[in-house]
Amino acid sequence: MLDLKFIIENKELIKNNCRLRKVKLDFEELERLAQQRKTSLQETEELHSKINKLAEIAKASAAKKEVVSQDIINEGKRLKEKLAVAEGRFSETEGKLEAKLIDIPNLTHPDSPTGESDADNKEIRTWGNIMRFEFQPRDHVVLGKNLDIIDFDSGTKTTGNKFYFLKNDGVLLEFALVQYAFEILQKEGFVLHTTPDLARLDIIEGVGFIPRGPEAQIYRIENENLGLIATAEITLGGMYRDEVLAGNELPVKLAGVSHCFRTEAGAYGRASKGLYRVHQFTKVEMFVFSAPESSDKMLDHIVQTEEKIFQGLGIPYHVVDCCTADLGGPAYRKFDLEAWLPADSRWGEVTSASNCTDYQSRSLNIKYKNSSDHKSKLAHTLNGTAIAVSRAIIAIMENYQQEDGSIKIPEPLQRWMGKEFIKPR
């Protein structure tokens, strides 16, 4: 989240930023809660001070072996009762204020395009040649059923809509993609991890996801302070909570594979069919802790790594600079890779890379300190998709389909799959 003092002192900047990012903000209510919190804090501190003074008087009397007066005892009880009420009031106000602060998005890079939706994202560059088929290309749902590698019916039967089974060569393709991504990331200096599929709710909130309320995209665990993660960004970001990193060790570059769980509330339409928007999928994520002066370059590095992965797979794509309405709360700037999906003749998002500056690290209290500094500073955090397996599978199946319904496997994946084609069984 942003710093409260900064928000109050830069009212018009924050209000304009929220307007551009399509976030509703009641700034007057925020100011009221901030003042109420300040007053409550002063009240609790004054009561603590009075209680401490009485304790000192009682201690002095005990040292002299004198009986503590009943008036002092009664006053102490009265102040403690008053303190309990004041602390409850402070805690309630702080909770309301934090809920408001969480809703306020990060600042926006001045070069990010202004827009109303993802339709206003700006194309930066394209790569690869769009395949021209001599037959009518099938979509991945038809291909997956005919090849017996994706089973949506069983996923719906056992779990519900938007769940699925991968089968046969579909399973091998998933693990080949993970291996392929890990091999590239290791060469790029990322430390590999498998991460928990669960995280504490305060970690989820600190990273910038909303685990509560009607807009939540997080599955919560009943009677537990836990939620299923939507991305390994959550667990990788939480690894260094309340820690101070050594400045000379930055950037810290992490990569993690996890299952990802998303409620996808409100998702519908042709662009959401099949594997494109599901409730569970496997993803390899990049996460970086950086010094502020290096974070722009690190974002470029993450995007270049994403491009290297998809160029190796031979998938045509373009890179888009995400507009103000499509940034998401934590991102200061975001670039997406969108792969060409032949069956629908459209671009579809396959990776996303964001510079979140100190938005996440302030909430998670993640700092760094150079040996020459007397004071630690907030680190910058960045994240990027290496491989979202479900969407990568769509791009491969639709771009590499053959007239007979088989799928040619991209060359880098063949050594893990032990074959060149996925053929009808």
pLDDT averaged per 10 residues in sequence order, the chain, 425 residues:
94 95 93 94 93 86 77 86 92 92 94 95 97 94 97 96 96 98 98 98 93 77 95 98 96 98 71 90 98 97 98 98 95 98 96 98 96 91 98 98 97 97 91
Choose among 388, 393, 398: nearest CA to 344: 398
The per-residue pLDDT for 213 is 63
Q: In the chain, count H helices and then E strands.
A: 13, 17
Alpha-carbon gap, residue 149 to 220, rounded angstroms: 30
For residues 225 and 161, is the Cβ–Cβ distance under 8 A?
no
CA distance to 1, 149, 275, 401, per residue, from 306 (Å): 27, 26, 20, 23
Q: Which pLDDT tens digit goes with each residue over 1-54?
A: 999 999 999 999 999 999 999 999 999 999 999 999 999 999 999 999 999 888
- How far from 358 is each of 277, 330, 368, 406, CA to CA, in Å? 30, 9, 11, 47
Nearest of 176, 182, 412 to residue 284 by alpha carbon: 182
Q: What is the 3-state secondary structure (H, E, C) of 49-101?
A: HHHHHHHHHHHHHHHCCCCCCHHHHHHHHHHHHHHHHHHHHHHHHHHHHHHHH
The total of other beta-carbon atoms located within 10 Å of residue 384's CB is 26
> Tell me, what's the pLDDT at 265?
62
pLDDT at 238: 97
Handedness of CA 262, 351, 237, 165 (dihedral sign): positive
CATH entry, 118-422, from 3.30.930.10, 3.40.50.300, 3.40.50.10860, 3.40.50.460: 3.30.930.10
How far apart, in whole angstroms, are the C-alpha atoms of residue 345 and residue 339? Answer: 11
Which fold does the domain 4-103 belong to in CATH? Helix Hairpins (1.10.287)
* 384-420 pLDDT tens trace: 999 999 999 999 999 999 999 999 999 999 999 999 9
Statement: the pTM of the whole predicted model exceeds 0.75: yes
Phi/psi of residue 130, each to 5°?
Answer: -70, 125
Tell which residue, 35, 26, 25, has the closest CA to residue 5: 35
The reported pLDDT for the residue numbered 268 is: 58
Other CB atoms within a 10 A radius of the CB of residue 5 amount to: 9
Helix, strand, coil percent values for the chain (each to nearest 5): 45, 20, 35
Instruction: Give, rounded to a whole angstrom, the gap between the first and last alpha carbons of the chain.
Output: 52
CA dist 340 and 405 (Å) reads: 19
Buried/exposed 105-115: b ≥16 CB within 10 Å, e otherwise: bbbbbeebeeb
The pLDDT value recorded for residue 239 is 97
**Where are the domain boundaries for CATH 1.10.287.40 in the chain?**
4-103
Rounded Cα–Cα distance for residues 354 and 335 (Å): 7
Backbone dihedral angles phi then psi of residue 123, each to the nearest 5 degrees? -70, 130
What is the pLDDT at residue 71?
A: 81
User: How far is residue 98's CA from residue 120's CA, in Å, rounded to a whole number?
Assistant: 31
